[in-house]
Amino acid sequence: MEREFSAGGVLVRTIRGRAMVAAIRPRGKDRVWALPKGHIDAGESAAETAMREVREETGVEGRLVEKLGDIRYVYTANWEGRKGERIFKVVSFFLLRAVQGRIGEIDEAMRVEVAEARWLPLAEAPRSLSYDGERKMAAKALERLGA
């Protein structure tokens, strides 16, 4: 089976005393709330990818805290040429602390992929995120932060 490797971030910041996490709504999946992530480019470490993708998809710069873990899933390709092919995917997630930038202030080109980026309460993220693996990463971040 074809394999794919991505990396992403659980980007946190405190707003009025409350721990928040950056989540995105991927374009074309209007009810999905997901963590920012993307393909690991050649020559990039997974942590570098996570920080780059978080910045590109949310508009917020993060500082690396630690690795949280890997999630795995299988999905079916639906793009031209590979329709129906099963793909095994591994995504490494990192805990990041927001350093600067305003959420949602992203490049015009990025809006093709991201419909919306928003701070969600971290305590609720193990329920409000759409994918099970990402919910587990949010739960790990909560544990790590003692929040």
List of residues contacting ligand ATP (CB under 6 A): 6, 37-39, 71, 73, 75, 89, 131, 133-134
Q: Identify residue 10 by its one-letter amino acid code.
A: V
Q: Smallest gap, in angstroms, from Cβ of residue 127 to ligand ATP?
A: 15
Neighbours of 3 (CB within 10 A): 8
Pick between residue 18 and residue 39 the one whose CB is nearest to ligand ATP.
Answer: 39
Cβ(114)–Cβ(28) below 8 Å: no
Q: Smallest gap, in angstroms, from Cβ of residue 15 to ligand ATP?
A: 25
Residues in the chain: 147
Pick between residue 15 and residue 69 the one whose CB is nearest to ligand ATP.
Answer: 69
Pick between residue 16 and residue 30 the one whose CB is nearest to ligand ATP.
Answer: 30
Residue of 55, 44, 39, 52 lying closest to 7 (CA atoms): 39
